[in-house]
Amino acid sequence: MKHDALSLLSLAARARRVADGEFKALEAVRKRKAYLIILASDASENTVKKFRDKAAYAKIPVAVGESMALMGRAIGKDDRAVIALLDRGFGEALQAKLQDTPLE
């Protein structure tokens, strides 16, 4: 994840347009409120599989971000394995910033 992407993630958090943590992100996916799922590079295999499956079913793109510590720091919280963006504009902008990173 580039510095620009982390800054954009931080901006989305300040605008309260993120669902952070497994429980909140999963709820956003189930309610079809998520526009992009970002998984930490060091998230557990179980978490990665669960969110890739749920996101594929809901047709929500998934990106791989930085470590849990960096992702949490970007949104002003402790370590986070999963962050869901709840705004189409932020989701599309972050996808554009992450073009080098494969999205699924």
Note down the domain range covering 72. Answer: 3-97
For residue 48, is it within any domain?
A: yes
The enclosing domain of 28 has a CATH number of 3.30.1330.30
Q: Which helix (H) or strand (E) holds 19?
A: strand 18-20
For residue 104, is it within any domain?
A: no
For residue 103, is it within any domain?
A: no
Place of tokens 């971000």: 65
pTM of the model: 0.87
For residue 89, is it within any domain?
A: yes
Handedness of CA 11, 91, 50, 66 (dihedral sign): negative
Count of domains forming the chain: 1
- At 104, is the pLDDT very low, low, confident or very high (cuts 50, 70, 90)? very low
What's 103's DSSP letter? P
For residue 102, is it within any domain?
A: no
The per-residue DSSP string of 56-98 comes to HHHT--EEE-S-HHHHHHHTTSS--SEEEE--HHHHHHHHHHT
For residue 33, is it within any domain?
A: yes
Residue 7 pLDDT > 70: yes
52-73 per-position pLDDT tens digit: 999 999 999 999 888 999 999 9
For residue 79, is it within any domain?
A: yes
